[in-house]
Amino acid sequence: MNLLYILLVVLLATRLCGEVAERLKQPALVGELVAGIGLGLVLHGYSASLPVLAALTGNEVFK
SS (H, E, C) the chain: CHHHHHHHHHHHHHHHHHHHHHHCCCCHHHHHHHHHHHHHHHHHHCCCCCHHHHHHHHCHHHC
pLDDT level of residue 40 (50, 70, 90 thresholds): confident
Mean pLDDT across the stretch 15-40? 94
To the question of pTM greater than 0.75 for the whole model, the response is: no
pLDDT over threshold 90, residue 31: yes
Class of residue 6 by CB neighbours under 10 A (exposed 0-12, middle 13-18, buried 19+): middle
pLDDT level of residue 62 (50, 70, 90 thresholds): low
